[in-house]
Amino acid sequence: MLSEISLNDKLPSFSLEATMLNKCSDADLLGSWSVLFLYPKDNTSGCTRETKEFNERHSDFEALGVRIFGLSKDTISSHISFSKKLNLQFPLLSDPQTQLIQNLNAWKEKSMYGKKYMGTERSTFLIDKKLSIKHIWRKVKVEGHVDQVLDKYKELNEGFG
């Protein structure tokens, strides 16, 4: 059992295939604030809505110097077509082995129609310039979530410019 990841923990190190970057590692997140949102599956209704909302607000995050990264266990080819379909302005990380997803304690037992299975719990991590996790959202509800993330970043950075 992995130890629970919590506030002020360092983002686990990783190196994954990604759209826009080919490879993305924890080192790529150093030096700027980042939002890493984990979602269950490309092209499903909730995941598409959440990804679209982050994309619609991309310029708001960019203006604050915050980078956005999406993460799921989908293959890189699935991510490429999902990214093109939504015209995404940020990279999607592919974690088919669920290594980073598990290290972030977001690989959970789920249940649908009475069947139990393992899947990604919709989660978001706000990460500072030194890769320290400054806020964690678990079991994310898509509605209003992107605003919550923006507001939390602003709250944590009041007076820092």
The rounded distance, in Å, linking the Cα atoms of 86 and 36 is 18
Q: Give Cβ neighbours of residue 101 (< 8 Å, ≥ 6 apart).
A: 38, 71, 72, 73, 95, 107, 120
Residue pair 129/137 in contact by the 8 Å Cβ criterion: no
- Of 11, 18, 36, 47, which is the active-site residue? 47
Helices marked H in 1-144: 45-56, 58-63, 76-86, 99-103
- pLDDT band of 112, cuts 50, 70, 90: confident
Q: What pLDDT does 66 receive?
A: 98
C-alpha distance from residue 135 to each of 70, 86, 87, 127, 142 (Å): 16, 27, 27, 7, 17
Q: What is the pTM of this model?
A: 0.95
Q: Is 47 annotated as catalytic?
A: yes
Residue 2 scores a pLDDT above 60: no
- pLDDT band of 4, cuts 50, 70, 90: confident
Q: What pLDDT does 158 receive?
A: 86
The rounded distance, in Å, linking the Cα atoms of 57 and 91 is 14
Return the residue matching tokens 């077509």.
81
Return the residue matching tokens 């037992």.
109
